[in-house]
Amino acid sequence: MEGSSHLRTLILENLVLHLLSPRTPSPLLFLLPEEPQPLHRELSQKFLLEGFATLLPETFDPETLRSLFSSILELLKREKVFYSSLWLWGEGDGALLALRLALEYPSEVTGLVLDSFRPQAQEALKELFPSLRKPYLLFHPQLAEDFPFTQMERMFTLSPGQAKKLLLVPGMRRGEVLHKSMDLYVQTVAEFINPRAGRFFRKSKISH
């Protein structure tokens, strides 16, 4: 991948961010997993193969990330990190943080990929979803018994936006899809974002 990508580590106060990007401006996915692990580094690599840049924090601290979000965007500008659009990907508690950030920074955030909300987030979702008009893709695991799909469907209908999609992940529990079907997952995300980022007829580079 040398010559076609760029790996950098950015530091802001006590926050360490890993940036992986193609050599040309592309959509940037700010990854917000609730428990960052090597699996998410692999996810970044997979997104790179689809032509996306990714920004991955080394640790997940919702309060710190929320308070420093505008500073992170300023840091990207200072470091001359150019991207065509900004998308937030969140998993678990990271999905709730991504949703909050999208509503707090509507001019900076283009859209969202939300995965496996925690059941404790339901009251917050009832308050936040009615204000969400941005494009978003929402994954929900079929075997999340503490948060049935029918309840997630009701939350989904609260958002007034038209460019939205809810996907049931069959036969999966929370957190399993990246372990079992990462390639298909990444391709699904790419197919949702690409036309909304003005990128049409991109052929997937992932082999199954």
Q: From first to last of its 208 residues, what are the pLDDT tens digits of the chain? A: 444 568 999 999 999 999 999 988 899 999 999 999 999 999 999 999 999 999 999 999 999 999 999 999 999 999 999 999 999 999 999 999 999 999 999 999 999 999 999 999 999 999 999 999 999 999 999 998 899 999 999 999 999 988 999 999 999 988 888 989 999 999 999 999 999 998 874 454 444 4
Any domain includes 59: yes
Residue 7 has a CB neighbour count (10 Å cut-off) of 13
Domain count, the chain: 2
Residue appearing with tokens 């075997």: 143
Residues 156 and 168 in one domain: yes
- The token duo for 124 is 């917050």
Rounded CA-CA distance 158/156 in Å is 5
Residues 92 and 123 in one domain: yes
Any domain includes 187: yes
Rounded CA-CA distance 12/14 in Å is 6
Any domain includes 132: yes
Supply the range of the domain harboring residue 151: 87-198
